[in-house]
Structure 1
Amino acid sequence: MSPEALVLAYGYPLLFIGIIFEGETFLLIGAFLAHRGYLNLPIVMAVAFASTVLTDQTFFWIGRTRGMTILTRHPEWESRVDKVRRLLEKYQLSLIVTFRFLYGLRILTPLVIGTSGFSPRLFLLFNLIGAVIWVVSIGLAGYAFGHAMEIILADIRKYELWIVIGLFVIGTASIIGFWILNRLKRERLTKSQAK
């Protein structure tokens, strides 16, 4: 199966899954592919919206039901958890709208908010607002990137497959790198606690 056929056949499901792990990267790739005509921008944005809202709501409810147990098991997250708690105390609703733009806190924030006793209805409302802002801004940036690449590389058809492959490799490498770094941090913390 050619890369083009792969994108046409599995582009939206891959986008949905990719956004769970590396949101911005996969939304940018999806919007770029929409500019190039492989995907449809409104559908890309709808898939991204559904994926990010579902992910954030899931982590919020995990936080409400098992959050303290999870946070206790991961002392290596303590500094980021404290940062989220300080931001929540100071900004509350603004944090819910903007946390997707805070690198390194995207998944942890709804989990911590869930542990705080925050209203599920308010979280849902402001999570929806934040998701719309995030999807539109990042989606349009990716679409604009596609347009800029078209201007820079007048004959982009020669290079677009390599660009898409490169972006996909970068996105996948980011996920793997994040996983490896977290694993190494946990091992280091476990070793230091054992001493």
Structure 2
Amino acid sequence: MALEALVARYGLLAILAGAGIEGEAVVITGGVLAQRGLLPIWGVAAAAAVGSCLVDQLWFWLSRRYRDHRWVRKATHKPAFARALRWLERYPKAMILSFRFIYGLRTVTPVAIGTSAIPSRTFVPLNIVAAAIWGPAIAWAGYAFGSALGTWLHDIESLILVAIGVLLIVPLAVLLVRTISGRLRG
């Protein structure tokens, strides 16, 4: 089966799963693929929103149900968890709406919310709204990135190299920023 057919067939499912697990890098890559005409941009945006919402909802409910489980206790000992909980106590609704956009809090915040006193009736609708904003915003950022690279991308092999580059460069850039900010604070 040709690579284009594989992307067309499984691309949105990969975006759906990847948005909840890996996040921005997968959705940005999906946006680049949409810009190249391999995926529909609104499909990428919808898959990103749904995947993100479902995974965060799952973490919330698992954390709520299994507060005393070792993986929840392990998460509560992370510095990012304490930071998320502090912000959550001060600004609960704003934190639920914004945690997807804050590096370092993306994965621990749904667990923090699940262990907090915030009711499901508050979290669920805000989680849906936040995911509905985040998915299209990140997908369109990838689309714009793909447009900027358009003159360099002439075939699918180049696109694959760019996607691999994005998946490698984004985590390295984040690590560099964390290292520099840690040294400035310390």
TM-score, normalization: structure 1?
0.78
> C-alpha displacement at 1:67, in angstroms?
2.8
| Structure 1 runs of 4+ with >6 Å offset | 172-175
Mapped partners of 1:173, 1:76: distance in 2? 29
CA contact (8 A) 1:67 1:111 kept: no
The structure having more radius of gyration, on CA atoms, is: 1
Q: Does 1:162 align with 2:163?
A: no
- For residues 1-195 of structure 1, the aligned pairs below 5 Å read 1-69=1-69, 70-72=71-73, 74=74, 77-150=77-150, 152-153=151-152, 156-158=153-155, 160-168=156-164, 171=167
Query: Aligned equivalents of 2:159 and 2:33: distance in 1?
Result: 10
Cα offset for 1:37? 0.5
**Which sections of structure 2, spanning at least 5 residues, go unmatched?**
172-186
Distance 1:83 1:26, change over 3 A: same
Query: How many residue pairs get matched?
Result: 170
Structure-2 separation of matches of 1:97 and 1:76: 21
TM-score scaled by length of structure 2:
0.82
Q: Structure 1: which 5+ residue stretches go unaligned?
A: 176-195
SS at match of 1:5: helix
**Over aligned residue pairs, what C-alpha RMSD do you find?**
2.2
Q: Give the conservation status (yes or no) of the 8 Å contact 1:64–1:117.
A: no
| Conserved? CA contact 2:85–2:112, under 8 Å | yes
Q: Is the 8 A contact 1:22 1:174 kept in 2?
A: no
The residue identity in structure 2 corresponding to 1:171 is L
Q: CA deviation at 1:86?
A: 0.6
- The 3 A distance-change label for structure 1 pair 75 and 138 is closer
Distance 1:83 1:71 in 2: 16
Amino acid at match of 2:39: L
Q: In structure 2, do the counterparts of structure 1 residues 68 and 172 end up closer, same or farther at CA, with 3 Å as the change threshold?
A: farther
CA distance in 2, matches of 1:106, 1:157: 34
